[in-house]
Chains A and B, each alone.
Chain A
Amino acid sequence: MELTSHQFKSVSSAKLKDVKLQKALYKAKDGFVVPRAKVVAELDNFEEIRQAAADVRDHGLAHLDVYLEEWEKQAQAAGTIVHWAESYEELNALVVKIAQDNQVKKIIKSKSMVGEETGLNRYVEGHGIEVKETDLGEYIIQQADEHPSHIIAPATHKSKDDVADLFAEKHQRPRLDDAEKLTHEAREILRPHFLDADMGITGANFMIAETGSTVILTNEGNGRMTTTMPRVHVAISSIEKCIPTLDDFALMMRLLPRSATGQVISNYVSMTTGPKRAKDNDGPGEFHVIILDVGRTRVLGSDLRDALRCIRCGACMNHCPVYQNVGGHAYGWVYPGPIGSVLTPAYNGIENAIDLPNAATLCNQCGVVCPVKIPLPDLMRKLREKQYERNLKSSAEKWSLRLWAYLALRPKLYSIVTRIMARVGKLLGGDSRRINHLLFGGKDWTRHRDLPAPRGRTFRDIYLNRNKTTNR
């Protein structure tokens, strides 16, 4: 997928004014946050389970080479054909080669974020092969020729009316007006494709070393269809999805659906180990898995490696005040929200996503809800430091920081300057006690909100005074 994160500021400003998007985001927020809180509270030892999951992920990453080799050994023993890819181009080309070797004309696809990274659909279609997305959200996005705005609810930025217009146009059928009818129309349209597609492509939420399996979670059943109906199945995944054992998977399952959609388990958890067996009467005759490393090993060797624990639940974005206001598209790549603000620069180069680690209040909502305890605010802070070290900060920001540092090292001068500022601020605030037009760098700050005006005294003045009072 093309990276447009450098447009974060302009796109997010536009998104803030997009009334339809704001409505959709408001709805989505309650749809995710409230159910999650309810099912997390059902676990009396959520924190203990979370810590265990973080430990299992860390352990898996610390021995990732051994676990991947074990995974490969077990997968091959079950008849899986394993491929490795070091670039997006390599993965895409492998998929096309498998398709061509099997005379594939039509592919059905279950959601894959790795596929979004590599721009798989466009590439495959460029080779004259039809690809149908089958997750309802992804299908909507594909029909609209857009990118997902959320990793588990890709069409969350679209209203029911948008979908109704889109389906009426694309399906050439009368316009429908409710979610149920629209969903069932998509079912009716997609069902024949499930039955006659030659190949299925899925992602993999996890790869399990113990058994050489890949697992996908869906609610719709499109994942089961895609892994069962066509004669060839290709799963695309990336190295960090590998976990040690089936019991470690059971642990992840206590956290992933809860954190993602507020469910105790996703409707369909489908674990695939090899192709159809000799006497089976259903399932694909060939099963391929392509394991990708783009950016992952670089992150593994860096101080951002905690981000590789991510199990792609989306809780960090659902709880992020920035994401809740600008939506996923503003982030300009595959992964939005706090995890996107870390992975996008980590995978694509920090100079290509300067705004993302700064587009955070560091309120730590993301860190608190992350089921594998990724310290997202710390990682964003580290990225900010790297920007500074690499001289990527704007000169205004650099000079303001230098000025502040100069003052902070001179307490007397600091006291004088802040006293003046507090008094000027009080004057500027006037009767409303709010400043709504800051100058220079502050202009952007007050564009969407007011600054509460200082009340004329500095913190230090008040603190000194308080000490005098108590000492008496």
Chain B
Amino acid sequence: MPARENILARIRAANKAANVADVMDSSVADRLASPPISPLPKLEWDPEGQFKLRCHESASTLDEIAQIDELPRAVTRYLSKNTLPTKLVCWPEFIDLPWSAEGIQIESRGAIGDDKVGLTGSYCAIAETGTLVLLSGQESHATTSLLPETHIAVIRRSRIVKTMEDAWQLIRGEVVSLPRQVSFISGPSRTADIEMTLVYGAHGPFRVHVIILDQ
């Protein structure tokens, strides 16, 4: 591969020619082996309160439940309040809940173009920015939070971390290697490309509803 070798050789020559001192104390190997954390802003808030505030600012709606078997009722509450369809696709982890009692039709599979409501979990959430962190995988289809017009996401209270740095720490500790995609989602899809006018539902969901689970 001549391009690769040429480019790397040019980088080395350029850096030698520029002769700039490295501003960092740590070496490249150290930085990769134990990545240092850069200065953080003051994080003087309660993570859950901050998460809720940011969700609100990014136009997500919120609900809270104490136990997972309350989920069908909470979902029904949200769908009927917003007169949305009661047919859902979900991640496998939710399929065994008592959905039929609430009159909800639900399937455990990835979403396709026609699905209107998608229900997902979240790996964790970031309080600083009100962000859901979703890892793609066999049990966590990426399409479910992407194609439907409405995305409902469940996040366990204990999984709300302060910062993105905290999320990486969690991932490094729990996940062997990064999945195909790590998706950071902060509210419904939007654009302001026409005269700076904010419009929701550009290509992704029009609505994001976040349900915080105690247990």
- Taking a contact as CB atoms closer than 8 A, the residue among A24, A55, A183, A274 that contacts B180 in the complex is A274
Decide if A317 is an interface residue (CB 8 Å cutoff): no
Given contacts A160-B194, A281-B110, 6 further A-B contacts (CB under 8 A): A43-B41, A86-B6, A228-B146, A250-B163, A273-B177, A301-B18
Q: List the one stretch of A56-64, A397-405, A423-431 in contact with chain B.
A: A56-64
Residues on the B chain within 8 Å of A273, using CB? 177-182
Decide if B8 is an interface residue (CB 8 Å cutoff): yes
Bitwise, A41-53 to B at CB < 8 A (1) or not (0) is 0111100110011
Q: List, sorted by A's number, 30 A–B pairs whose CB atoms are closer than 8 Å.
A: A43-B41, A45-B39, A55-B24, A56-B38, A59-B31, A84-B1, A86-B6, A136-B193, A160-B195, A163-B194, A219-B190, A219-B202, A220-B202, A220-B203, A220-B204, A225-B204, A244-B32, A247-B36, A247-B168, A248-B38, A249-B164, A250-B165, A279-B137, A280-B180, A281-B109, A282-B110, A282-B143, A283-B136, A301-B18, A302-B14
A281 engages B178 (CB within 8 Å): no
Q: How far is the CA of A239 from the CA of B15 in the complex (A)?
A: 14
Residues on the B chain within 8 Å of A4, using CB? none
Q: How far is the CA of A187 from the CA of B138 in the complex (A)?
A: 28
The 3 residue pairs across chains A and B that have the minimum distance between CB atoms = A221-B204, A301-B14, A220-B202
Decide if B186 is an interface residue (CB 8 Å cutoff): yes
**Would you give the shortest CB distance from B171 to chain A, in whole angstroms?**
8
Decide if B101 is an interface residue (CB 8 Å cutoff): no
A68 engages B35 (CB within 8 Å): no
Residues on the B chain within 8 Å of A187, using CB? 201-203
Number of interchain pairs (Cβ within 8 Å): 278
Closest to A308 in B: B14
Q: Which of B113-135 contact A (CB under 8 A)?
A: 113, 128-131
Residues on the A chain within 8 Å of B81, using CB? none
Residues on the B chain within 8 Å of A134, using CB? 203
Decide if A117 is an interface residue (CB 8 Å cutoff): no
Interface of B is mostly: loop
Residues on the A chain within 8 Å of B202, using CB? 136, 183, 186-187, 219-222
**Would you give the shortest CB distance from A177 to chain B, in whole angstroms?**
11
- Taking a contact as CB atoms closer than 8 A, the residue among B1, B4, B136, B197 that contacts A282 in the complex is B136
Closest to B144 in A: A282
Decide if B13 is an interface residue (CB 8 Å cutoff): yes
Closest to B7 in A: A293
Interface size on B, residues (CB 8 A): 76
**Would you give the shortest CB distance from B181 to chain A, in whole angstroms?**
5
Residues on the B chain within 8 Å of A65, using CB? 8, 11-12, 15
Q: List the one stretch of A98-106, A262-270, A360-368, A378-386 in contact with chain B.
A: A262-270
Q: How far is the CA of A175 from the CA of B8 in the complex (A)?
A: 53
- Taking a contact as CB atoms closer than 8 A, the residue among A42, A84, A182 that contacts B4 in the complex is A84
B8 engages A68 (CB within 8 Å): yes
Residues on the A chain within 8 Å of B113, using CB? 191-192, 195
Question: With A211-B178, A248-B35 in contact, do A219 and B197 touch (Cβ < 8 Å)?
Answer: no
B35 engages A64 (CB within 8 Å): no
B35 engages A277 (CB within 8 Å): no
Residues on the A chain within 8 Å of B62, using CB? none
Q: How far is the CA of A332 from the CA of B168 in the complex (A)?
A: 41
Residues on the A chain within 8 Å of B28, using CB? 63, 66-67, 70, 244
Residues on the B chain within 8 Å of A229, using CB? 143
- Taking a contact as CB atoms closer than 8 A, the residue among B23, B42, B184 that contacts A45 in the complex is B42
**Would you give the shortest CB distance from B140 to chain A, in whole angstroms?**
9
Closest to A226 in B: B203
Question: With A187-B201, A239-B7, A293-B7 in contact, do A224 and B183 touch (Cβ < 8 Å)?
Answer: yes
Residues on the A chain within 8 Å of B194, using CB? 136, 140, 155, 158, 160, 163, 179, 182-183
Decide if A305 is an interface residue (CB 8 Å cutoff): yes
Closest to A138 in B: B193
A137 engages B193 (CB within 8 Å): yes
Residues on the A chain within 8 Å of B41, using CB? 42-45, 49, 254
Bitwise, B48-62 to A at CB < 8 A (1) or not (0) is 000000100110000
Q: How far is the CA of A178 from the CA of B23 in the complex (A)?
A: 51
Residues on the A chain within 8 Å of B146, using CB? 221, 224-225, 228
Question: With A184-B201, A220-B191, A244-B32 in contact, do A227 and B181 touch (Cβ < 8 Å)?
Answer: yes
Decide if B185 is an interface residue (CB 8 Å cutoff): yes
- Taking a contact as CB atoms closer than 8 A, the residue among A159, A180, A209 that contacts B32 in the complex is A209
- Taking a contact as CB atoms closer than 8 A, the residue among A135, A228, A261, A264 that contacts B142 in the complex is A228
Question: With A66-B28, A273-B179 in contact, do A245 and B199 touch (Cβ < 8 Å)?
Answer: no
A62 engages B203 (CB within 8 Å): no
Residues on the B chain within 8 Å of A70, using CB? 28, 32
Q: How far is the CA of A24 from the CA of B38 in the complex (A)?
A: 38
Q: How far is the CA of A268 from the CA of B1 in the complex (A)?
A: 35
Residues on the B chain within 8 Å of A219, using CB? 189-192, 202
**Would you give the shortest CB distance from A237 to chain B, in whole angstroms?**
13
Q: How far is the CA of A239 from the CA of B4 in the complex (A)?
A: 11
**Would you give the shortest CB distance from B68 to chain A, in whole angstroms?**
23
Closest to B58 in A: A267
Residues on the B chain within 8 Å of A192, using CB? 113
Closest to A29 in B: B196
A282 engages B203 (CB within 8 Å): no
Question: With A65-B11, A222-B202, A247-B165 in contact, do A271 and B190 touch (Cβ < 8 Å)?
Answer: no
Residues on the B chain within 8 Å of A194, using CB? 203
**Would you give the shortest CB distance from A281 to chain B, in whole angstroms?**
5
Bitwise, A269-291 to B at CB < 8 A (1) or not (0) is 11111111101111100000001
Q: How far is the CA of A212 from the CA of B44 in the complex (A)?
A: 33
Decide if A326 is an interface residue (CB 8 Å cutoff): no
B23 engages A58 (CB within 8 Å): yes
Q: How far is the CA of A49 from the CA of B11 in the complex (A)?
A: 27
**Would you give the shortest CB distance from A217 to chain B, in whole angstroms?**
9
B190 engages A301 (CB within 8 Å): no
Decide if A297 is an interface residue (CB 8 Å cutoff): yes
Residues on the A chain within 8 Å of B187, using CB? 267
Chain A CB within 10 Å — which of B110, B141, B202 has the most?
Answer: B202
